[in-house]
Chain A
């Protein structure tokens, strides 16, 4: 401004002056926030202090030593039914939770889609069946359902369907719907299983290469389609490539045994690192990351003319990044154990990889084994060699699958219904038939709409598997409860639970968000 503004005498122009603190909006805003933070922190501090006193008075220590200590737990099922330590027991519980959750997610999705399609079918009977399925399952608490299924399964014959005369007697191997292979009883279902054998890891590398190759094949076919307009079925080609690699890999996988020594080399490298070095490296990485973030941030917010424009939030984020890196440094120097744990576990990981790859050339990637009765006369528990689905598992599985299939069905149906009618009309106007318009026009749009709520359903399904505790399925909550009943370490066990479930939730939301982003990009 070169020309000074001429002020007529009548103009009431305020002289620019400092705003008093108690009237400055920015100051007030930060004052409110900081005081609320102070109140929250003070309350937390009070509570935690009180808890510390109470725990000391009751002579309970907080610590994670139960992880290494032996515990007296027998699990209903899992990769290890008689774990030798608390940590191992919790680990088995986690695997059990993940097992039932993942199977539940797959089956509830399939079932849910069928429910949705049947509710939209033009057959009156099918529509009504779908509606009944949804309304009856949605409105009964999941826990009641799980317990109900469990009590129904308890009425199955004691050993086998086929041979009622043997009900009371010792288990006969020649029983079951398929003799010697499959058994159904009130304790559960036993089936043969396929498991990974020594050669698997080398074979996995072949598959990895195959996946990369498949990716390129798919891209190439897609390009061909774009160039020529011919139907090139890229997905089919990619799958075929992968299958060829998988099949060839079955014969040539020992080629990759050289990976073993490389892993060993990395392990030795980690072994040679010292603790101060680790601490220094981690600190430097933390600081660099924070700095890089802040710098990136500042360049993003800088206008073409070089004006830097930062809002409150931006400042807060920058301070937060700085504080976080400072916190990392403090933690890493305060607890030397953390560094040595990192080193040790890193080394262990690579040593493990080394042994996994270090097998002779004849090892097969897979092995199949049929049930092999461990304790005749008892429940046909096939231990490590067979696959068993106990009653608890079945109850939880049916519970979450049915319950969530009703919800998923409604979500998918809502998604399909929310595609505007004009889309269908447009599809038929360009000459697509009903199936084509469903496949090419409606389902893609419906999927995009129903993805976020579907993700929520998967999250809640995973969390709902914790109800397994009511039917004695050894998931992480049940195992944890047994542990804290024995050791009194309620707080540590609960923190393990919460960490585990938070990790599950994060994983699922990351996956869902990934697909969501991709779909959104397509939209643009």
Chain B
């Protein structure tokens, strides 16, 4: 099963990424929680500027995997190499990767005690060591980008879910990451707010950001993804372009999943 060649160069209508450099390489990544195996020998490569959507039933290890890439969880076997840096216990590497990889969470996780602007500027000031004025200027631009410049002085508790998630995206972008990870960014949102967040994500994808997205939004996957990875029970079951995946899946488990969800 893990013999599936996950390192294929992928193409998508309008984009040829076969020459792009690899930016995330996972080799035989395994992870256990106690005696439960969450990830089983995951191997995959993601190219620069590629948009990968990870699908799968809940509990299939999608979130665990992308959290391992950001080292929010520690994998126990195998290698993860992000932008040429291997994830080890080396302090320098961890610091470097954290500021290269932005992450957006299902529950937004904005800092409730800070204003929206402070949420966005905190990390640039203290982690990227930017001068304050510069950081504020950048924050204003980013908030403009995600469409909520007028909310800068409010606190997260005063915003709607969709606005909060857009602030969270701005906060992640403020670190000028090369890769963005999205962990079910729209699952906690009311239906009418999902679109505003997805629009921001689509813009981001078009601007050439490398993205890994765990989501249940099939429309988004069809429209934006360069490649879709389907996971179940901690393993990668199938990899392919959206056309291939939605129209002509090879694996039975994928078919079952799609029949349930579509």
Contacts and interface: CB of A to CB of B under 8 A. Distances in A.
Interface of A: 1-3, 5-8, 10-14, 16, 19-20, 23-28, 300-305, 307, 309
A303 B39 CA distance: 12
B35 A300 contact: yes
Question: Which 5 pairs between the two chains have the least Cβ-Cβ distance?
Answer: A12-B84, A303-B35, A10-B21, A19-B90, A309-B32
A404 to B, nearest CB: 36
B28 A304 contact: no
A21 to B, nearest CB: 11
A26 B30 CA distance: 20
A25 B45 contact: no
B89 interface: yes
B92 A14 contact: no
B100 to A, nearest CB: 12
Nearest to A27: B89
Contacts of A11: 21-22, 25, 84
A19 B34 contact: no
Contacts, number: 76
A27 B85 CA distance: 20
Nearest to A24: B89
Contacts of B3: 2-3
Contacts of A25: 89-91, 94
Nearest to B83: A12
A305 B43 CA distance: 19
Contacts of B89: 19, 24-27
B252 interface: no
A25 B74 CA distance: 13
A3 B35 contact: no
Q: Is the interface on chain B under 10, 10 to 19, 20 to 34, or 35 or more residues?
A: 20 to 34
B91 A302 contact: no
B241 to A, nearest CB: 20
Contacts of A301: 34-35
Given A13-B84, A23-B92, A25-B94, A8 B37 contact: no
A8 to B, nearest CB: 6
A391 B19 CA distance: 93
A303 B36 contact: yes
A24 B83 contact: no
Contacts of A24: 89-91
Contacts of B41: 1
A7 B27 contact: no
B86 interface: yes
A452 to B, nearest CB: 27
Interface in B105-141: none
B88 interface: yes
B198 interface: no
A3 B5 contact: yes
A24 B43 CA distance: 26
Contacts of B83: 12
A8 B27 contact: no
B76 interface: yes
A148 to B, nearest CB: 45
A14 B37 contact: no
A24 B30 CA distance: 22
B22 A8 contact: yes
23 contacts: A1-B28, A1-B41, A3-B3, A3-B5, A5-B25, A5-B27, A12-B83, A14-B81, A20-B90, A23-B91, A23-B92, A24-B89, A24-B90, A24-B91, A25-B91, A25-B94, A26-B89, A28-B91, A301-B35, A304-B35, A307-B32, A307-B77, A309-B76
Interface in B34-71: 34-37, 41, 43, 45
A311 B43 CA distance: 24
A28 to B, nearest CB: 7
Given A14-B85, A301-B34, A303-B32, 18 more contacts: A1-B43, A5-B25, A5-B27, A6-B7, A10-B21, A11-B22, A13-B22, A13-B25, A19-B90, A23-B91, A23-B92, A24-B90, A25-B91, A300-B35, A301-B35, A302-B35, A303-B34, A304-B35
